A and B are shown apart, each in its own frame.
Chain A
């Protein structure tokens, strides 16, 4: 849950990057860390000892400055995508205000995307949150690989398979080069603040 202090006019919220293993969640955060220096308020913390696979989570704190009279702080987290870390994912998910689901555009990862989305759905449900209610943005990552001739799914197909019921905003991205990373986060931030406004009427 966001920490909202109406007296000091401060909002602190938590956004979690979710998605199958190797889809590019950590790469999203790394890019934000590099490219949004002005907003980054602390170090990026990664706990990864197994190559570059996330074993626990990555963490990056951002300060967005004043929005409608409120000082807005955001904590970005990534979950470990590998299937066996389900309980860690649940833990990192705890108290999330919004989700960015990063889907892997590689054809060979088609099923893994679906399994991970289902896992998200289940984990949210266990904490009493409906995936249809929480602010959610879909990112179709690794689009750059298409131009190199690698087999990717079309965004149409991905939309149909992952987003038919969710009807979440979607963004094409290439986290490695940063394309679409900022747009994804900005949209998610916007949805989050709107959601919190409905609930807490924080804006002046």
Chain B
């Protein structure tokens, strides 16, 4: 093989790699041919070949660079979407278990944010996944629409009753971590639910007896369904204040400002009656001997008679 033929074969090899999409290999090959030629000053067309190689190298480098850029989510056809749905849809998390979460996470990883958020939202209804799912929803929103979207979703959660206050605290720190990671200087620790429209009360303050204690069923949290009895701390008209001990984790988790309590039993020294209440406040006590306990205010809005 003459020197010229050798060069020709090497150039073909480099072109083959390029054609097969083996860009790094192609680039390396062109570089090594370049070195090879530089050592042969008498080669015919030497400068022409060298400048050709320089052009190739530049083009391939650009391809590689372009290739490494983070990609926007791929466009996915309807058919493919159907198939992916089968593979990754949460389905029934009870039977699919954590695989359901895994599927949704993959959709997210693949930039299918809308679809992922839909799946995660389904998973919110399932206790073992709800916190993770909420975190992932915020993450998707951050990636897809920016921090404001994530914050506003969190605000929605603050105002509706889907999460317990304990859960909301965890989601809040997850959101803070996401914001910090993204370099967004925003503090969500003080974020409050917007003022809730308080339901109208049907009771006349003057008609309310003194109430010693209340009993109700927890609607959420680890002790969901359990009947709880709490002593009234003080009463002001139809608003009852109750202290929930910090030891009662299940109770603290199960009650949140804005909750309706549809079936409360009220104990007064002279009578027992039932009715509906509204949690007008549920906040942790920050100082004093009761530090760590929770102060719960329930406004009585309906009394059932008969």
Contacts and interface: CB of A to CB of B under 8 A. Distances in A.
Interface residues on B, range: 20 to 34
B83 A150 contact: no
Interface in B13-50: 13, 16-17, 20-22, 25
B74 interface: yes
A57 B52 CA distance: 37
Given A43-B79, A88-B110, A51 B25 contact: no
B76 interface: yes
Contacts of A43: 79
B13 A91 contact: no
A87 interface: yes
Nearest to A108: B25
Given A50-B67, A149-B9, A109 B22 contact: yes
A57 to B, nearest CB: 9
A45 B22 contact: no
A72 to B, nearest CB: 20
B77 interface: yes
Contact of B109 (A48, A87, A109, A145): A87
Interface in B38-81: 67, 71, 74-77, 79-80
Given A45-B83, A150-B16, A151-B13, A53 B77 contact: no
Interface string B241-271: 0000000000000000000000000000000
Contacts of A202: none
A32 B156 CA distance: 51
Interface in A139-168: 145, 149-151
A49 B21 contact: no
Nearest to A50: B71
A88 B76 contact: no
Interface string A31-57: 000000000000101011111110110
Contacts of A88: 106, 109-110
B80 A108 contact: no
A45 B79 contact: yes
Contacts of B17: 106, 108
Interface in B90-138: 102-103, 106, 109-110
A59 interface: yes
Q: Interface SS of chain B: helix, strand, loop or mixed? A: helix
Contacts of A151: 13
Q: How large is the interface on A (under 10, 10 to 19, 20 to 34, 35 or more residues)?
A: 20 to 34
Contacts of A109: 22, 25
B110 A56 contact: yes
Central interface residue in A43, A59, A91, A94, by most chain B CB within 10 Å: A91
A47 B79 CA distance: 10
B80 A45 contact: yes
A187 interface: no
Interface string B196-240: 000000000000000000000000000000000000000000000
Interface in B140-188: none
Contact of B21 (A45, A51, A55, A149): A51
A55 B20 CA distance: 16
Contacts of A59: 80, 83
A195 interface: no
B193 interface: no
Contacts of A56: 74, 76, 80, 84, 110
Q: 6 tightest A-B contacts by CB? A: A49-B74, A108-B25, A22-B21, A45-B80, A47-B80, A91-B106
17 contacts: A21-B21, A43-B79, A45-B80, A45-B83, A48-B74, A51-B21, A52-B21, A55-B74, A56-B80, A87-B109, A88-B109, A91-B102, A94-B87, A108-B17, A108-B25, A109-B22, A145-B16
Given A21-B21, A88-B109, A108-B22, 7 more contacts: A45-B80, A55-B74, A56-B84, A88-B110, A91-B103, A106-B17, A108-B25
